[in-house]
């Protein structure tokens, strides 16, 4: 088998460090060096629900687990490229279907037990076991079949795929390696999904992440302490992490988070509204902390119309689908939207207009050739007129049959920014003669309408993928995908461009040449921008940061940041 | 006793009715816990089906209700979808924290309300009457949320009190007496918010009851006989005004798990509030039903306690029961 060794040697030099085996192949961190010691207090909006990486779905749980556990290959959230982690290198076969991963030697779990290939095989077995209902399972199904992980020797494993998969390396990120010695019994007895709940004793848990569980106080806090067996060192060969402790403090409301941060009780807060960001930025005590811009995220907000096959139900919605289904109608709506107004009014300038679903935060895949969306009521009117719409004497838009164009937009009532955004959209479309009603709904009721009953005209929502790679968006863009929100459960592509998008998405997933993949995905973005199955609005620059918006006390948390950045926050 | 036994039976029937109705209403609410997972582009329909099946959401409604009732008997109170564990162990530590807050606040509010209301009843004209009427009306009109946020701002500006939470970092390393002081310091703001919310209602009830009693012929007769005013108030007027206050006290007990929910969320108090709010928004059905049932239980118990106290306090009720 002719192969290619992809990743490097330089980062894998054996270094002696306290608490680690002398022969351990540690990873040299290239982050800025810091000083050991200290405690970082991080406010969480909601409590983590579990410490079990196999079943965790909520963001707080994943944030904590990201500090407790480690994966074979890690996606560097800055470069967005894969980097070695527990696997020091890997090799891919020429047909792209077989990966051989070489594990670092001499590593230990946080309880001191050695880590080897058996743990890797065990971990993937747990993720793939249907009984566990792991959300990661679907990522490990390639070409309709689960990946096969086999042990070659104590420090090498192979991973076999049913078909070539362009983003295969990224499969090894986000799948934390589990300690077989602690969880094998639970897995054999079918109890793994119940293991490692929040009440788990620290002695019953072990991971390969920079920290380990110290204590949990229900509803209040979760404290992690430094893992003495962690496998990264700084440039000077000093063991990482630097911090002695991380405290995750539950502070359920955003306003209370800001108050406690300003009172010096917490060191970091995340996902601030634009108003709170502005308040922190102009606070006279601002000298005591700093607002760090960690770059744009991947979450995109959008407006979409109900294009579902209603099968004779919901007659009122069905009638309007004659408008919604026209590309010219959606293009006119898009052209009438004042995205800059949304940026200014809703996000106080801290947002970016979007021409397509790929945000500027996705440095690797965004199609920079696409022009930014420009508001043009004249173009919108022209498009509508050509599609057979006309205006009454009072300026109301009517279709060819004389029916006034009226519809409702549903959105999440709990998200104030989104409701405000919908108001701007409502006002913009009024200028086009459309009569739009706004219906803010409780989030689950909204999801029920969009995903189950399809009883809505248009919706304003947002989506964010966990990764920049286009394969993570397959379920959204493939016409039969379960997240193809505007037309769910379709058996075949029907809308303009949809068939081509299906083909392009499927091809990019199995194309191994990165340039060719980029070309294919650029074309997908062009088709989305032209046909507007959903109408991209904005990427908000404050609430939608990929990582945390870090506001650091002068007390010195800054020096400790690189060591928690070893496993940056994920969304 | 017969009266109390009858009320206890009514309470039990109420508990069964509320459990069935709450279960039905929660089930009828649109959307379920797993709906949001459908927005995760990486999660497939098959995985969602597996998860729904694991938690029995694919079973018929009566079967789910019976399973839930069986889990009540085991003390589990159902199973939380979000936490992946029985509801009971999730609730108990938070119930304890909520009760610490609400029992302190309720006791303090009553201790303040009785003398304040009685004093107010003796000053029915003049600036004291107008001032107390204005202050209590303003406090009644002020939403708990605004009150709690205002107190948080006070903590931030002055630095006199912790700005939320129940204990400080490093609480575990403190000596026993320091721990008590630490919790007490954290109690000040949420208890103040709650007392300011409860107090106006209680004060107005006490005032109205005592004022009625003070106008009664027997009190006027007592005064005419030259009995000192303090004696008249505490020996004659207050006991006569006790009946509506005892009923109100029963209702106070019923609200021990629910009055503080909003304040807990704003003040980051690790009680039922944040847990319940999140469970409602996430449609974590059984986690919502647990506190609802516990609150109903408190309502029934509070009414029973009030009945028992009324029986003990008022000979007319005892006589009517015979």
DSSP string, B41-109: TT--HHHHHHHHHHTTTTS-HHHHHHHHHHHHHTT--SEETTTTEEHHHHHHHHHHHHHHHHHHHHHHH
pLDDT of A21:
64
Can you tell me the distance from the alpha carbon of B282 to that of B290, in angstroms, rounded to the nearest whole number? 15
Q: Kindly state the tokens that stand for A436.
A: 């739009």
Cβ contact, residue pair B172, A215, below 8 Å: yes
Nearest to B65 by CA among B321, B293, B319, B296: B293
> How is domain A48-194 classified at the CATH fold level?
Dipeptide-binding Protein; domain 1 (3.90.76)
- Tell me if A545 sits within 8 A of A295, measured CB to CB: yes
pLDDT of A551:
34
Cβ contact, residue pair B44, A217, below 8 Å: no
- Report which secondary-structure segment, H or E, holds A553: strand A550-553
| Phi, psi angles (nearest 5°) of residue A533 | -60, -35
Min Cα distance B162 → chain A (Å) is 8
pLDDT of A569:
29
Q: For chain A, what are the domain ranges? A: 48-194, 202-229+242-295+545-563, 300-540
**Hey, is the C-beta of B86 within 8 angstroms of any chain A C-beta?**
no
- Tell me if B7 sits within 8 A of B304, measured CB to CB: yes
Contact residues on chain A for B32, CB-CB shorter than 8 A: 444
**Hey, is the C-beta of B266 within 8 angstroms of any chain A C-beta?**
yes
Contact residues on chain A for B283, CB-CB shorter than 8 A: 444
Question: Among 3.40.640.10, 3.10.105.10, 3.90.1150.10, 2.60.40.350, what is the CATH number of A300-540?
Answer: 3.10.105.10
Min Cα distance A22 → chain B (Å) is 35
- Tell me if A371 sits within 8 A of A313, measured CB to CB: no
pLDDT in tens, chain A (571 residues): 333 333 333 333 344 445 566 677 888 887 778 888 888 998 888 889 999 999 888 888 988 999 999 999 988 777 778 889 999 999 999 888 999 999 999 999 999 999 999 999 999 999 999 888 888 888 888 888 999 999 999 999 999 999 888 888 888 887 899 999 999 999 999 999 889 988 889 999 999 999 999 999 998 999 999 999 999 998 888 888 999 999 999 988 888 888 888 888 888 877 777 788 888 877 766 667 777 666 677 888 999 999 998 888 888 899 999 999 999 999 999 999 999 999 888 888 888 889 899 988 888 899 999 998 999 999 999 999 999 999 988 889 999 888 999 999 999 998 888 999 999 999 999 999 999 999 999 888 898 899 889 999 999 998 877 788 888 888 889 888 888 989 987 777 777 788 999 999 999 988 888 899 999 999 999 999 999 999 999 887 654 333 333 333 323 333 333 333 322 222 2
| Phi, psi angles (nearest 5°) of residue B105 | -65, -40
Distance of CA A502 to the CA centre of its chain: 22
> How is domain A202-229+242-295+545-563 classified at the CATH fold level?
D-Maltodextrin-Binding Protein; domain 2 (3.40.190)
Measure CB to CB from residue A55 to each of B30, B84, B89 and give the nearest one. Answer: B84
Nearest to A169 by CA among A82, A84, A98, A238: A82
CB pairs A-B closer than 8 Å: 171
Could you tell me how many residues make up chain B? Answer: 322
Contact residues on chain B for A253, CB-CB shorter than 8 A: 265-266, 268
Can you tell me the distance from the alpha carbon of B193 to that of B188, in angstroms, rounded to the nearest whole number? 9
Determine how β-strand A390-391 pairs with β-strand A397-398: antiparallel
What are the C-alpha distances in Å from B199 to residues B185, B205, B207?
A: 21, 10, 12
**Hey, is the C-beta of B90 within 8 angstroms of any chain A C-beta?**
yes
pLDDT digit string, tens, across residues B79-113? 898 888 899 999 999 999 999 999 999 999 989 98
Contact residues on chain B for A250, CB-CB shorter than 8 A: 268, 270, 274
pLDDT of A542:
54
Cβ contact, residue pair B43, A135, below 8 Å: yes
| Residues of B (128-157) whose Cβ lies below 8 Å from A | 149, 152-153, 155-156
> Which residues neighbour B127 within 8 Å (Cβ) at sequence distance 6 or greater?
none
| Residues of B (185-244) whose Cβ lies below 8 Å from A | none
Residue B27 has pLDDT above 50, yes or no: yes
Cβ contact, residue pair B163, A130, below 8 Å: no
Question: Among 3.30.750.200, 1.10.3720.10, 4.10.80.40, 1.10.630.10, what is the CATH number of B88-320?
Answer: 1.10.3720.10
Contact residues on chain B for A298, CB-CB shorter than 8 A: none
pLDDT of A22:
63
ipTM > 0.85, yes or no = no
How much is the average pLDDT of B30-35? Answer: 79
What are the C-alpha distances in Å from A125 to residues A21, A134, A146, A162?
A: 28, 11, 10, 17
Nearest to A543 by CA among A333, A343, A288: A343
Cβ contact, residue pair B162, A472, below 8 Å: no
């Amino acid at each position: 088998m002719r192969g290619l060794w992809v990743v490097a040697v330089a980062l894998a030099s054996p270094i002696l460090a306290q608490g680690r085996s002398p022969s351990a192949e540690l990873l040299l961190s290239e982050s800025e060096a810091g000083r050991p010691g200290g405690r970082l207090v991080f406010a969480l909006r909601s409590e983590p629900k579990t410490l079990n990486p196999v079943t965790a779905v909520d963001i707080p749980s994943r944030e904590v687990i990201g500090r407790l556990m480690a994966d074979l290959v890690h996606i560097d959230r800055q470069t967005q490229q894969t980097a070695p982690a527990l696997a020091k290198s890997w090799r891919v076969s020429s047909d792209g279907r077989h990966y051989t991963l070489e594990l670092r030697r001499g590593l230990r779990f946080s309880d001191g037990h050695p880590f080897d290939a058996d743990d890797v095989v065990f971990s993937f077995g747990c993720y793939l076991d249907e009984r566990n209902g792991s959300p990661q399972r679907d990522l490990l199904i390639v070409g309709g079949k689960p990946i096969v992980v086999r042990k070659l020797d104590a420090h090498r494993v192979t991973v076999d795929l049913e078909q070539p998969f362009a983003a295969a390396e990224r499969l090894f990120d986000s799948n934390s390696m589990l300690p077989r010695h602690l969880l094998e019994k639970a897995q054999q007895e079918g109890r793994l999904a119940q293991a490692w709940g929040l009440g788990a004793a620290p002695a019953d848990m072990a991971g390969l992440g920079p920290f380990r569980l110290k204590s949990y106080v229900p509803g209040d806090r979760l404290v992690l302490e430094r893992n003495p067996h962690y496998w990264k060192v700084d440039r000077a060969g000093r063991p990482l992490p630097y911090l002695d402790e991380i405290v995750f403090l539950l502070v359920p409301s955003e306003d209370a988070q800001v108050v406690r941060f300003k009172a010096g009780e917490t060191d970091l807060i995340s996902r601030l509204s634009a108003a709170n960001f502005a308040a922190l930025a102009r606070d006279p005590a601002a000298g005591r902390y700093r607002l760090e811009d960690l770059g744009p995220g991947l979450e995109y907000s959008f407006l979409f119309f109900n294009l579902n096959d209603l099968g004779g139900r919901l007659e009122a919605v069905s009638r309007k689908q004659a408008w919604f289904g026209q590309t010219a109608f959606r293009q006119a709506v898009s052209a009438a939207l004042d995205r800059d107004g949304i940026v200014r009014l809703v996000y106080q300038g801290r947002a970016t207009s979007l021409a397509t679903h790929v945000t500027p935060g996705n440095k690797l895949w965004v199609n920079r050739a696409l022009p930014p969306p420009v508001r043009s009521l004249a173009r919108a009117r022209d498009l509508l007129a050509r599609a057979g719409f006309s205006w009454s004497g009072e300026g109301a838009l009517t279709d060819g049959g004389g029916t006034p164009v009226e519809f409702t937009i549903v959105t999440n009532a709990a998200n104030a920014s989104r409701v405000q955004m919908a108001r701007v959209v409502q006002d913009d479309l009024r200028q086009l003669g459309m009569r739009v009603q706004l219906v803010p709904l409780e989030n689950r009721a909204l999801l029920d309408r969009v995903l189950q009953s399809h009883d809505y005209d248009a919706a304003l929502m947002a989506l964010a993928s966990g990764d920049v790679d286009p394969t993570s968006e397959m379920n959204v863009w493939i016409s039969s995908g379960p997240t193809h929100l505007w037309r769910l459960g379709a058996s075949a592509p029907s809308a303009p461009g949809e068939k081509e998008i299906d083909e392009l998405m499927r091809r990019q997933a199995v194309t191994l040449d990165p340039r060719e993949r980029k070309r294919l995905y650029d074309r997908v973005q062009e088709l989305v921008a032209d046909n507007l199955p959903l109408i991209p609005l904005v990427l908000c620059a404050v609430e939608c940061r990929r990582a945390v918006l870090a506001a650091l006390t002068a007390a010195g948390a800054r020096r400790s940041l690189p060591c928690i950045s070893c496993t940056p926050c994920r969304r | 006793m017969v009266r109390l036994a009858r009320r206890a039976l009514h309470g039990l029937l109420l508990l069964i009715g509320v459990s069935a109705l709450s279960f039905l209403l929660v089930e009828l609410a649109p959307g379920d816990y797993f709906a949001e997972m459908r927005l995760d582009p990486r999660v497939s329909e098959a995985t969602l089906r597996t998860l729904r099946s694991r938690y029995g959401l694919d079973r018929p409604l009566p079967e789910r209700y019976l399973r839930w009732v069986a889990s009540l008997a085991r003390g589990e109170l159902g199973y939380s979808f979000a936490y992946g564990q029985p509801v009971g162990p999730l609730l108990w530590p938070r119930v304890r924290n909520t009760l610490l807050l609400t029992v302190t606040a309720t006791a303090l509010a009553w201790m303040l309300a009785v003398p304040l209301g009685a004093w107010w009843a003796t000053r029915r004209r003049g600036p004291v009457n107008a001032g107390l009427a204005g202050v209590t009306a303003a406090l009644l009109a002020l939403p708990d949320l605004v009150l709690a946020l205002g107190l948080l701002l006070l903590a931030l500006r002055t630095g006199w009190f912790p700005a939320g939470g129940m204990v400080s970092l490093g609480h575990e390393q403190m000596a026993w007496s320091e721990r008590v002081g630490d919790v007490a310091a954290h109690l000040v703001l949420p208890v103040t918010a709650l007392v300011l919310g409860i107090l106006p209602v209680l004060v107005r009830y006490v005032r109205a009851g005592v004022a009625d009693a003070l106008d009664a012929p027997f009190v006027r007769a007592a005064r005419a006989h030259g009995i000192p005013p303090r004696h008249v108030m505490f020996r004659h007027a207050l006991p006569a005004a006790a009946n509506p206050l005892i009923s109100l006290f029963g209702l106070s007990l019923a609200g021990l798990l629910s009055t503080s929910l909003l304040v807990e969320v704003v003040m980051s108090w690790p009680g039922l509030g944040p847990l319940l709010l999140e469970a409602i928004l996430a449609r974590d059905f059984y986690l919502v039903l647990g506190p609802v049932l516990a609150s109903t239980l408190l309502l029934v118990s509070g009414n029973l306690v009030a009945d028992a106290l009324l029986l003990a306090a008022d000979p007319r009720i005892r006589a009517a029961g015979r």
